Amino acid sequence: MKGKPSDISTVIIVNKNSEPKTLRVKTKHISRLRHYAVGIVSVIMLLSGVIIYLRSQNNRQEVEKKQLMAQITKLKGSMPAQEAEVKKGSDAQTYIQSIEGKLSKINDYLRKRGLKGFSTTAVGGNGNAEAAKLSDNEAYSLYDEYLTRLVHTVAFTPMGYPHISALTSYFGYRSDPFNSADAEFHPGIDFKGNKGDDARCTANGTVVFAGWAGGYGNCVRIAHNNNLETLYGHLSRISVKVGQDVTAGQKIGEVGSTGRSTGTHLHYEIRKNGKAINPISYLSLNN
């Protein structure tokens, strides 16, 4: 359908090198030319702004990358020098500090379990003739290897107190607390406590059970190295979940009296290859 004469406008295009040309367009488009122009300019400005922003971001990232690479290069350059000092034995204090650092970490594990740690005021050989023949480098290597194993062993071996308090029941046969005429085997030890007191794991490990376990009530079991496992029973509240990795001294629940219990306390077991062993042997380094 043809538009009405009033709806159509004629635009004359004049070129000095050729005949004038005419272009017929709808009048409404001519009246909107200003809006079209503003829209086009706005889009161009927006795109320009985005390009400028992206360029600035890219430049900033390049600067940060160069700074990081410079730091890495600097660190790499300093490492061989430090290693050479240790190997040559020219700085005995460096490896002594390394040993003290490992002892400090061991002491941290022990303190979280209520145990007294090692003294770090004096570190050296055992004083015998063989030790005197060792070079600084040999002595460092032996100490470092030993202490590295010790740190790992202390971290992953159940040791110390899951709740620092008095013991109310021991490992072995005892009178049944529900029927004094009978005897029963008690596979762990009990710590006195109040409802809501923290129960803490005694070694690094992984939670393998967290929930209701019959007579144990709310119970948490944690697997450690060397086929060792710890159990915490009668909890009023469980703070961990199955599959969670935990560290020595971390809260795993709260003391309670759930399950087969005559009063508020924490039941604690250590199992080796699935069999309960006496936890008393693991409460102190001297046992």
- The CA–CA distances, whole Å, from 99 to 107, 124, 125, 192 equal 12, 10, 12, 38
Q: Of 156, 177, 208, which marks where a domain is finished? A: 156
- Look at residue 54 and tell me if it is in a domain: no
Q: What is the pLDDT of residues 138-155, one digit of tens each?
A: 766 777 777 777 777 777
Range of the domain at 11: 5-31
pLDDT at 277: 94
Quick one: 172 and 268 in the same domain? yes
Q: Average pLDDT of 81-100? A: 58
pLDDT value at position 64?
66
State whether 195 and 171 are in the same domain: yes
pLDDT at 213 over 50: yes
pLDDT at 270 over 70: yes
* Residue 36 is assigned to a structural domain of this protein: no
Same-domain pairing of 125 and 218: no
State whether 127 and 100 are in the same domain: yes
Q: Residue 250 falls within a domain, yes or no?
A: yes
User: Is 42 among the domain residues?
Assistant: no
| Backbone φ, ψ for residue 213 (5° rounding) | -135, 65
Positive or negative: CA dihedral 278, 280, 286, 287: negative
Would 67 be classed as within a structural domain? no
Residue 52 lies in a domain: no
Torsional sign, CA 224, 225, 229, 230: negative
The pLDDT of residue 89 is 52
In terms of domains, do 112 and 175 share one?
A: no
Asked whether residue 171 falls in the same domain as residue 234, the answer is yes
Q: Are 236 and 143 within 8 A, CB to CB? A: no
Higher pLDDT, 244 or 35: 244
pLDDT band per the 50, 70, 90 thresholds, residue 178: confident
* 204 or 64, greater pLDDT: 204
Residue 73, helix vs strand vs coil: helix
Residues 190 and 236 in one domain: yes
Do residue 277 and residue 175 come from a single domain? Answer: yes
Question: pLDDT category, 242, cuts 50, 70, 90?
Answer: very high
Q: Is the dihedral of CA 183, 184, 190, 196 positive or negative?
A: negative
Instruction: Clarify whether residues 262 and 191 are in a common domain.
Output: yes
Q: Where a domain ends, among 156, 185, 205?
A: 156
The encoded tokens of residue 219 equal 């119970």
Cβ pair 189, 170 in contact under 8 A: yes
With respect to residue 261, please indicate whether it lies within any of the assigned structural domains: yes
- Find tokens 């061991």 and name the residue: 106
Per-residue pLDDT tens for 102-113?
777 777 777 776
* Domain end among 130, 156, 182: 156
CATH number at residue 242: 2.70.70.10
Mean of the per-residue pLDDT values of the chain: 78
Q: State the total domains in the chain.
A: 3
17 has pLDDT over 70? no
Answer whether residue 147 is part of any domain: yes
3-state class (DSSP) for residue 198: strand
Residues 180 and 274 grouped into a single domain: yes
Question: Which has the higher per-residue pLDDT, 4 or 38?
Answer: 38
> Do 239 and 268 lie in a common domain?
yes
Distance CA 232, CA 121 (A): 36
Residues 201 and 271 in one domain: yes
- The SS3 assignment for 277 reads strand
